Amino acid sequence: MSAGLVFSGVSVRAGAAVLLDGVNCRAEAGRLTGLIGPNGAGKSSLLKAALALVPLERGAIHFNGADLPTMPRRARAQLSALVEQSGLAEVHLSAREVVQLGRIPFQSVWQSAPSPEDDAAVDAALAAVGMAPLAARAYQSLSGGEQQRLHVARALAQQPQLLLLDEPTNHLDIHAQFAILELLRQRARAGATVLLAIHDLNLAASFCDALIVLAGGRMVAQGAPEAVLTPALLRAVYGVSASVLRHPASGRPLIAYDGPVAPGND
């Protein structure tokens, strides 16, 4: 048994299409792990499989030694949270009410009002994403970035030991992206297991402690960003030619793209 989220031989299919094909990988507790790969690589499917939103065809997923997909729903919801890619939703709730949804796994059917612990968790989550001043605003009146921050806050209100996020920095300006990633890094430092799907490789390189690379439903690499992000991998997985430099201040990998790899030049 080990702390963190462990995928062992995970296969998922939708009809005839194989979405995940025998994926073995892990996201360790206390670390911020980035899940990268081109569109359709299976990043969302991997996150959904962990929370039993799609059925496993083969394999197992354990969190801190416990079988996560077969765990009772409520117990799983008290342990883990997911921030999905946000779509268009017609929701007539205030910002605070959206974050309060995160307390549902902790509330009994008979409870008529949020408990003091619920309120404290909601306040803390709103403050963490910088949305406390907008708590009374209607969800619909918020910008895409503000709505995205609320979804992160809703997940934080679940006080999860396992936090899964599907491209949480979409719709955000660069400052807000940094703020969210810094927040996630702090959660990881506090002991949580944080796994996020992310497209921006330079952001992934500068914030993540470890990276998992998926392509075509298979795990093709995992490890520290400097070990994973090589010109050869970028060429093979993304079909781009790039130089990997070192960030002058942090020493982290810094990718300078040259352009797409010409067809037949592989």
Q: Does 112 bind another protein (CB under 8 A)?
A: yes
**Smallest Cα–Cα separation from 200: which of 239, 255, 244, 148?**
255
Residue placing its CB nearer to another protein in the complex, 187 or 252: 187
Other CB atoms closer than 10 Å to residue 189's CB: what's the count? 13
Residue placing its CB nearer to another protein in the complex, 68 or 237: 68
The stretch near another protein (CB under 8 A) out of 15-23, 59-67, 72-80, 218-226 is: 72-80
Residue placing its CB nearer to another protein in the complex, 89 or 227: 89
Q: Does 132 bind another protein (CB under 8 A)?
A: no
* Contact status, residue 92 vs residue 48, Cβ threshold 8 Å: no
Residues in region 87-106 near another protein by CB under 8 A: 87-94, 96-98, 101-102, 104-105
What single letter denotes the amino acid at residue 34? G
Got the DSSP string for 82-128? EEPPP-------BHHHHHHGGGGGG--TT--S--HHHHHHHHHHHHH
The stretch near another protein (CB under 8 A) out of 22-30, 74-82, 193-201, 214-222 is: 74-82
- Using CB under 8 A, count the residues that bind another protein: 37
* Contact status, residue 81 vs residue 73, Cβ threshold 8 Å: no
165 three-state secondary structure: strand
The binding site for another protein (CB under 8 A) comprises 48, 51-53, 73-74, 76-78, 80-82, 84, 86-94, 96-98, 101-102, 104-105, 107, 109, 112-113, 136, 138, 151, 158
